[in-house]
Structure 1
Amino acid sequence: MVHGEFGEVGVLHPGAMGAGVAAQAVAAGASVRWLPQGRGAATRQRAERLGLKPAASVGELAATCDLVLSVCPPAAALSVAEQVAAAGFRGVYVDANAVSPERMADIGEVFEGTGTTLVDGGITGPPPREAGSTRLYLSGEETAVARVSALFDGTLLTPFPLPGPVGRASALKLSFAAYNKISYALAAHACALADGHGVLDDLLDLAAQALPGTPLAGTGRLASAGPRAWRWEPEMREIARASREVGAPAAFAEAAAETFARWEHHKDDETVTGARLVADLREGRAGPDARPAGE
């Protein structure tokens, strides 16, 4: 029997993180479906490699699955929920996207009166590849949360149920990201400032001694933000929205979103350098002709 007593599990969509989540559901013994329609070649290859079963439509996925996990860019979270609800889904729906509690309330309205149980999910860490690196926080209806948690018990995606309603997991996820990811934007800004005044090497030497292990300790560390900036930019918008909900300043997140927007053309490019990212900021625009710092 599959942990959590789920039969078919649907994952929308198996990008880098979604594929990692799907892999852990497979490891738990679940039969996992996905929706190939409109997805790119890289996504198809990941799904095939994991042995995911294709669904011909959202309707087929909704009819055959009793658990659907949504793992997509934040801007698409509401649209994906609407598609699943319109298809007549009646199981447990986990929205595991980096959205604000207010956005989760919007998603809750989509499923209101449909017979679907909404669980709020927040993923922290990289795509799960080793024990202890990635957590799945869950909040909402207690029985549904317990079932989803049981599915992933013992996998590389460690479940952490939170007592309380939908919205709590999202709030925790965004609060952590507000510190963790904005720190990359702040480090990039400091490097751009230092580079403009000719003291970048001195700044990196100082940071390596005073702040080891941080994005400021070397442009090699900073570089990891480039391929992910296209996903981080909308996440910053959600953080800004969540900040305004509680009266906290939203300017930090908005500024980080502006920074990450300048790096969006580096999507999934693992070869981009920290110098390249610093140059993008100094040029005041993103583009292939921006000159890397020090070149």
Structure 2
Amino acid sequence: MGAAVGGVLEAGGAEVVTSLKGRSARTAGLARSAGIEDAGSLKNAVAAADVFLSIVPPASAAEVAEAVAGALGSRSRPLLYVDFNAISPRTAVEIGQRMTEAGATFVDGGIIGFPPRPGPQATRFWVSGEAAPEAQVLSEHGLDVRDAGQRIGQASTLKMCYAAMTKGLTAIATESFVTASAAGLTPALLTELALSQAALLRWLEHMVTSSPPKAHRWIGEMEEIAATFAETGLSPKMFEGAAEVYRFVASTAPGRETVETRRPRNLSDLADELVFELRREGPSEPEIEQSPGHSGADLP
């Protein structure tokens, strides 16, 4: 997502920089393809940028914020820090407090949609907080930026509520198809869905089959959704379970593929493969890139 966002901003006339120090060859390749400049270090990226966009796995959001806060001394002008990560509102508030204490201007954000491409946008970049209007500068460079409210946490809550329905349903469907496959009922389930839920089936054919390479990122997102709902007074158990679904998927052969190398599979084939993985002994742990990523935009 970060490379795609950077590519749109670059195409829209912004100068986009990042730090690729410690990142994987895949991440470096995506950044180069998007025209994003490697600043060499986080300190250099922070010094160069007018706006810092944090777009990383949820578990790395606080780590990136802390690192940026520590690098703010290298700046000669205020930094606008926009956290676009899939985090709970409480996490957003905590990060916002840390960034404000460090001297940055903080905006809460949430991305809804697929990785964007230059041109007309189907991806929304929701923002909230008193400084949210400042993030509208991103709309001048190709992003569809929308205001969710004046409170930090509102944009993150919107993202959590939306992802609960989309990625949450994808987790439920994954379990349903695996269970149907194990019982030899996949053809019957597909027939019934085609007869009674044709639109849903078309959606699932895309969402479920494309999810394995992204499952390792969605573990933390489900945990953040669980925390969000718990803060509201609801049970977190449904999304703690969804996190376990994605933890399993991430440990399988389909989950170890990347978005670029993913082998095309239909729902039936994927379900059969996941059943095989369930039944074999000792699935491996998901391979998750540990070094956090980040992007800075030097806007004219």
The answer, yes or no, to whether TM exceeds 0.5 is yes
How many residues align? The count is 269
| Aligned partner (choices 91, 108, 111) of residue 123 of structure 1 | 111
What is the CA–CA distance in structure 2 between the aligned matches of 1:162 and 1:30, rounded to whole Å? 24
Aligned counterpart, 2:263: 271
What is the CA–CA distance in structure 1 between the aligned matches of 2:68 and 2:207, rounded to whole Å? 38
TM-score normalised to structure 2 length: 0.82
| Aligned partner (choices 231, 247, 250) of residue 236 of structure 2 | 250
Runs of 5+ unmatched residues, structure 2:
285-300
Aligned counterpart, 1:224: 210
- Could you tell me how far 1:192 is from its partner in structure 2? 2.3
Q: Is the 8 A contact 2:50 2:79 kept in 1?
A: yes
- Could you tell me how far 1:278 is from its partner in structure 2? 5.2
- Structure 2 vs 1, CA of residues 220 and 132 (structure 1 numbering), >3 Å: closer, same or farther? closer
| Aligned partner (choices 100, 118, 121) of residue 112 of structure 1 | 100
Relative CO higher for 1 or 2, CA cutoff 8 Å, sep ≥ 6? 2
**What is the percent sequence identity of the aligned residues?**
33
Aligned counterpart, 1:30: 14
Q: Is the 8 A contact 1:280 1:287 kept in 2?
A: no
Aligned counterpart, 2:89: 101
Q: Is the 8 A contact 2:55 2:85 kept in 1?
A: yes
| Aligned partner (choices 260, 273, 280) of residue 274 of structure 2 | 280
- Structure 2 vs 1, CA of residues 221 and 120 (structure 1 numbering), >3 Å: closer, same or farther? closer
Is 1:150 the counterpart of 2:137? The answer is yes
Q: Is the 8 A contact 1:189 1:281 kept in 2?
A: no
**Residue type at the aligned position of 1:122:** G
What is the CA–CA distance in structure 1 between the aligned matches of 2:241 and 2:95, rounded to whole Å? 27
Aligned counterpart, 2:125: 136
**Residue type at the aligned position of 2:270:** R
Q: Is the 8 A contact 1:74 1:99 kept in 2?
A: yes
TM-score normalised to structure 1 length: 0.84
What is the CA–CA distance in structure 2 between the aligned matches of 1:83 and 1:107, rounded to whole Å? 12
- Structure 2 vs 1, CA of residues 26 and 132 (structure 1 numbering), >3 Å: closer, same or farther? closer
What is the CA–CA distance in structure 2 between the aligned matches of 1:239 and 1:218, rounded to whole Å? 21
1:64-103 to 2 correspondences below 5 Å: 64-88=48-72, 90-103=78-91
Question: SS in structure 1 opposite 2:194?
Answer: helix
What is the CA–CA distance in structure 1 between the aligned matches of 2:233 and 2:275, rounded to whole Å? 29
What is the CA–CA distance in structure 2 between the aligned matches of 1:261 and 1:194, rounded to whole Å? 20
Q: Is the 8 A contact 1:208 1:217 kept in 2?
A: no
Pairwise CA RMSD: 2.2
- Could you tell me how far 1:111 is from its partner in structure 2? 1.5
- Could you tell me how far 1:216 is from its partner in structure 2? 7.8
What is the CA–CA distance in structure 1 between the aligned matches of 2:203 and 2:139, rounded to whole Å? 35
**Residue type at the aligned position of 2:42:** V
